[in-house]
Every structure is written in C-alpha cells, then in structure tokens.
A and B are shown apart, each in its own frame.
Chain A
C-alpha cells in the first residue's frame, strides 16, 4: 500500500545530511518490513526479503537494526506513535468529549486505511512477534484507554461502568479493524466509523445519544466547528 519512499538524491547532490538520510533509511526499511509482514506473516519474513523490498544493501539493514525482531519493534513503535499522534491531534481540537472520541476514531481509521501494512504490525498476530511487542502494545493501549476513561466523567452512570470496559471497547475496535485488514479491504475501514462510534459511546451515553453523535459527527473532515 501507500508507503512513502524517499526519492533518491540526484547525481551530484550530496548535500543531504547524514542524519536526514539515516532517518529516511530507517523509515524506508521499516515500511518494507511492514509490507513484507503483511504479505507473508512475521515468521516467514527474512532479512533478505526486507532488504530486497527496501532496495538497500544487507549491510545497510544491519547498520540500522540488529535483527528482524529489532526492526519489527521499530515498525511497531513507529506505527503506534504515528496513529496516536493523529488521534491526539484530531481529538485535541474538540471540547465535547463524545465528539472528541468520534474525531479520534475517525483519525485512527484514516491512518489504518492509509497505512494498512503498518497498522497490522500493531495488531493481533503482531503481539506474538517479539517478546517486547506485548509490553509496547500494553503501553500504547493505555493512551487509548485514558482517552475513553474521560467519558466516565461525563457519563450519567460513569461510576457503575465495569472496570475493564475501556479495555474491552478498544479490543473490540481493534478486532474489527483487524478483520477488515485481513479481508484486504482497507477502503471499507473508514466506513466503519459510525458503528464504531455508536459501539464505543453507548456504554457511557446510552444508545440514543451515541447514535446522535455517530450520525452528526464530521469524522475525517474535522477542524473547528462547535458541536451541538
């Protein structure tokens, strides 16, 4: 899918700083790994596959990463922080919590649709890829959990919600997205927004109010406008 590969410097152009090239090289390798893993499954991917995909020398791989696992972890971290960044950026604009969730979910779905291979490095089978994958996943999960937990303050029955509800809601959202990714229909992913909004907001607001938000929300075309 849409991986943004760095253009090669034109002949004679040696002005790019080493750091710039290094950064982009890492990103390129990480992207290549994500694509390979999405295609073949983590276990079957080799460093040879990755370097071929990235169009780099084997040496270059090892200048950047110690192993496939190392590279995978970097991909996972890169993907998670990119996704979270988009969510925070979109949600941060908005005061009203339900619409904040709506905007955050929209941004997340948009990221997944744009970068399905990268998104997959954060999901289900990815958890088993490397021992530290799970720990990293847990940490990232906490950020999403705290976004949802705010809903307890605005919910009429926030005090009575099950302790694990945020975890369950996010797990459910991830699972659905994962299924669509497996079906290789990234275009269907953004269409999930209204039902995911309803699903996640219902425990806090009840079904009617959740439905209103799902119908009214602007999703990806966010920005300013105050919400009703």
Chain B
C-alpha cells in the first residue's frame, strides 16, 4: 500500500475525480473538459472541507481550490450541498471498490471479511481528510447526505449475511434478523469515534478486534479469534 497521498496529486491509484489536471486550456473535447471540471470541483470541495470544515466552506473556496470559475460551478451543481453529495458518492465508490477487491480476492468467507475490513481501515488511514469528509462532515451536510451515510453503512450488511451460508442449525438459531445490522453498526461506531477524534493512526490496530467481533456470531469466539489474529 502506498504512502498516504494528497488526493490532489496525480496518481494511478486514484479515480479521476480525486486527481487533477493542470489548469489552463488544453484543446480537449467538451465532454472531457466538462467531466474534468466536475471532478476538479469535487476534489476542490474535498480540499476546502479539509481546511475549514463543511459549515465554513463557501462556493468561493471550492472554486478557488478547483481552479474553475463560479459560473462553472453552477453549470455542474446548484448548491454547495449538491457538490458535497457528489464528493461523498465519489469517496464512497472508491472505498467500496477497494473493499470489494480485497474481499473478492479471498476464497474463504472469514478471510474475505478480514481482508475487506483491512482494506477499509487502510483507505481511511491513508486518507484522513476523506475519512473525515465521509464520516464527520457528512453528518452536517444536510439530510440527503445523512441518508446516504445510513445507506452506506447498511450496504455493508450483505458481506456479513454471506456468513450465514452453510452454518449449522444451532449457529443460525443464535442469529437474529438484526445481527448483521448490529455488527455493522458496532464496527462503524468504533471507526467513526477515532475519525471524530482525529486519531486515524489508530484505525489499523483495530483490525483484529473488528474481525473477531464480526466473525464470532458465525464461527464462535475461538475460531473467530484465530482468523482475527492471523498475520
């Protein structure tokens, strides 16, 4: 995994929205420029919010960071909130992509869960500003984003529901309709507390605990602990 990088630095690891083209005219096709402007606005918002929080961010801040005009802003978004939603969706899509990649690489479900959690923690640690954007600022960016936040967390449920497959009857009897919701809520709560407190450097050390917590209802504590503590 690469060193923590500033999302404004060009990097093949990052989707276009999180990277930047140099400003100025390039003689590029209109759609390309338009798409790139949108991406720059999103990156600009992320930078502005990292600097002064969502409440303190204005459209002028965003356009300055994005190096586009105010008019251009309004060609793409009708408000700061709308721009934030786009930024949020972009960050979440990237996070999701990395989690999926890590999860799908493993053959066995318990290891897949561990890998997925690991990928999430890795991303949040590498990008503390994006972690804050998606877990702290998102909560004050208006009801649309809060809804997305909830949905994103609930969206983790299927990764754990998959653990029910093939379990013996007495294990399944110990699970309830809300088990996965509780697991996901618990994990996110641990993570978000550290993000709130600006202690993202602690996140990766949570991997064993989070893995054990998540796997225990399906595997029992002994087996879950084994998977959790494997190197």
Contact = CB atoms under 8 A, between A and B. Distances in A.
A138 B193 contact: yes
Contacts of B174: 198, 202, 207, 210-211
**Interface range for B:** 35 or more
Interface residues of A, number: 41
A165 interface: yes
Interface in A38-52: 41-44
Given A127-B139, A171-B189, 7 more contacts: A127-B196, A164-B209, A170-B189, A172-B181, A195-B177, A199-B176, A207-B171
B184 interface: yes
Contact of B150 (A171, A182, A199): A182
A171 B190 contact: yes
Contact of A174 (B189, B196, B217): B189
Interface string A19-54: 000000000000000000000011110000000000
B144 to A, nearest CB: 10
A175 B186 contact: yes
Given A168-B213, A192-B178, A198-B174, A41 B146 contact: yes
Nearest to B228: A162
Interface in A89-148: 124-125, 127-129, 134, 138
Contacts of B210: 164, 168
A176 B182 contact: yes
Nearest to B213: A168
B185 A172 contact: yes
Interface in B192-225: 192-193, 196-197, 206, 208-210, 212-213, 216-217, 221, 225
B126 interface: no
A139 to B, nearest CB: 12
A198 B208 contact: no
A186 interface: no
For the complex of A and B, 7 pairs with smallest distance between CB atoms: A175-B185, A171-B189, A172-B186, A128-B139, A172-B182, A195-B176, A168-B186
B229 to A, nearest CB: 10
B143 interface: yes
Interface in A183-225: 192, 195-196, 198-199, 202-203, 207, 210-211
B227 interface: no
A165 B213 contact: yes
Contacts of A182: 150
B181 A179 contact: yes
A213 B3 CA distance: 49
Nearest to A157: B221
A126 to B, nearest CB: 9
A196 B136 CA distance: 27
Contact of A175 (B140, B188, B197): B188
Contacts of B228: 162
